[in-house]
C-alpha cells in the first residue's frame, strides 16, 4: 500500500518536472522566472514546510527518537564522505574529483525529499525527514563548500551556514515544538498553503534546470554514471543495512532509505560556479541522478519493505 503511495507521488512529481522542462524549452520560463520561483521555494515555502512539520504535539518519546535519528544522520553523512573519496580515487581530474565527492554526500533533501516525505507521511514524516536533512545542510555549507573552495576563503561562510532560510525554518519549528505555542487559525492555514505549494515549485524548478543543462550530453558521460552509482545505489543499500540492524519503526526506516536514495542537490552546479569545480560535469550528474532516481527511489523503498 505505502509503496503504491510512493510510486503515485513519484509519477506526480515526474509530470510536474516534465511541465517545467516544457516551459523552459519553449522559453515561457526563463532565467528570471526560474530565479523568482527558486527564491520563493528556498526563502518561503520550504521553511514554511519545516515549521509546519514541527508544529505538532510535544512528545518525549518522539524527541528521544529524533535525537537518535539525528546522530544516525550525522554518522551516515560521514560514511558518505568516505564513499565519496572512494568513488573519486581513480579520477585524475582535480575539479571532477571535487564534484564526485560533493555529489555523493549532498542530497536534494529540500527540493525533493521534503515534498515526498510530506505527501506520503504528513507532518509526522516531515519531523523525521528534518532529522535527516539538518546535518546534510550543515555538511553542505561546511564540508561541501570547503571541498569546492580548496584553499580559497569566503567571507561569512559560517554565518550563512547557521542563518540561511532552511536553518531559520528549523529554529522556528523547534521553538513551536518545545514551547507548544498555539498559532492562530490564519497562520496554520497559511503554513498549509505554503507547504502544499512546495512540491509544485520544486519539481517545476528541477524540470527547468534539466532542460537548461541538457539531457543528451548528460546521458553519454560515463564518469557521471560512476558518481551516480554511489549516490543512487550504494547509499540507499548502506542505509537499508543500518535500518535493519537497528530495527527502527518501519515508517522511520522508509523515510531514511528514501532520503538516502535521493538524487544530487540541484544547488551543486550553482555552488560549483560560485566557489569552484567543474560546472558542466556537476550539471550532468544532477540531470542523470534526477532522471534515474525516479526509478531507484521506489525500488529501494520496496526492497526495504519486503526485506
- Please, how many CA atoms are within 13 Å of residue 103, restricted to the half-sphere of its CB? 37
Rounded to an integer, what distance in angstroms lies between the CA atom of residue 283 and that of residue 228? 12
Instruction: Return the percentage of the chain with pLDDT > 90, whole number.
Output: 27
Residue stretches of the chain with pLDDT short of 70: 1, 150-161, 220
The answer to whether 47 touches 190, Cβ cutoff 8 Å, is: no
pLDDT the model gives residue 1: 64
Cβ atoms of 231 and 104 within 8 Å: the answer is: yes
> Residue 157's pLDDT is what?
61
Contacts of 79 (CB under 8 A, 6+ apart): 238
Question: In this predicted model, what pLDDT tens digit does every residue of 223-258 receive, in sequence order?
Answer: 888 889 999 999 999 999 999 999 888 899 999 999
Domain ranges of the chain: 2-306
Facing residues of 264 across strands?
107
Q: Cβ contacts of residue 178 below 8 Å, gap of 6+?
A: 58
Question: Which CATH code for domain 2-306?
Answer: 1.20.1530.20
- pLDDT of 152 reads 63
Question: CA 248, CA 219: separation in Å to the nearest integer?
Answer: 37
Element (H, E) at 230: none
Residue position matching grid coordinates 528521544: 64
pLDDT tens profile 131-147 = 898 888 778 777 887 78
Amino acid at each position: 500500500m505505502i509503496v503504491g503511495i510512493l510510486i503515485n507521488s513519484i509519477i506526480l512529481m515526474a509530470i510536474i518536472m516534465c511541465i517545467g522542462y516544457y516551459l523552459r524549452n519553449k522559453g515561457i520560463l526563463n532565467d528570471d522566472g526560474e530565479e523568482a520561483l527558486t527564491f520563493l521555494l528556498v526563502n518561503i515555502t520550504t521553511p514554511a514546510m519545516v515549521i509546519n512539520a514541527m508544529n505538532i504535539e510535544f512528545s518525549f518519546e518522539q524527541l528521544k527518537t529524533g535525537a537518535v535519528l539525528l546522530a544516525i544522520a550525522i554518522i551516515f553523512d560521514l560514511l558518505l564522505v568516505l564513499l565519496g573519496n572512494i568513488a573519486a580515487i581513480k579520477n585524475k581530474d582535480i575539479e571532477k574529483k571535487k564534484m564526485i565527492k560533493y555529489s555523493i554526500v549532498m542530497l536534494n533533501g529540500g527540493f525533493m525529499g521534503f515534498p515526498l516525505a510530506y505527501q506520503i507521511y504528513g507532518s509526522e514524516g516531515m519531523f523525521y525527514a528534518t532529522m535527516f536533512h539538518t546535518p546534510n545542510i550543515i555538511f553542505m555549507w561546511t564540508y561541501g563548500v570547503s571541498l569546492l573552495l580548496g584553499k580559497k576563503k569566503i567571507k561569512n561562510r559560517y554565518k550563512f551556514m547557521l542563518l540561511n532560510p532552511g536553518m531559520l525554518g528549523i529554529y522556528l519549528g523547534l521553538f513551536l515544538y518545545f514551547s507548544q505555542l498555539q498559532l492562530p487559525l490564519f497562520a496554520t492555514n497559511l503554513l498549509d498553503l505554503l507547504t502544499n505549494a512546495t512540491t509544485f515549485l520544486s519539481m517545476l524548478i528541477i524540470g527547468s534546470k534539466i532542460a537548461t543543462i541538457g539531457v543528451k550530453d548528460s546521458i553519454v558521460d560515463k564518469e557521471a554514471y560512476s558518481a551516480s552509482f554511489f549516490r543512487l545505489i550504494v547509499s540507499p543499500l548502506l542505509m537499508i543495512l543500518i535500518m535493519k540492524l537497528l530495527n527502527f519503526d518501519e515508517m522511520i526506516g522508509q523515510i531514511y532509505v528514501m532520503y538516502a536514495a535521493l538524487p544530487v542537490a540541484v544547488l551543486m552546479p550553482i555552488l560549483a560556479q560560485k566557489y569552484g569545480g567543474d560546472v558542466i560535469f556537476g550539471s550532468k550528474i544532477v540531470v542523470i541522478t534526477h532522471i534515474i532516481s525516479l526509478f531507484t527511489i521506489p525500488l529501494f523503498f520496496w526492497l526495504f519493505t519486503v526485506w
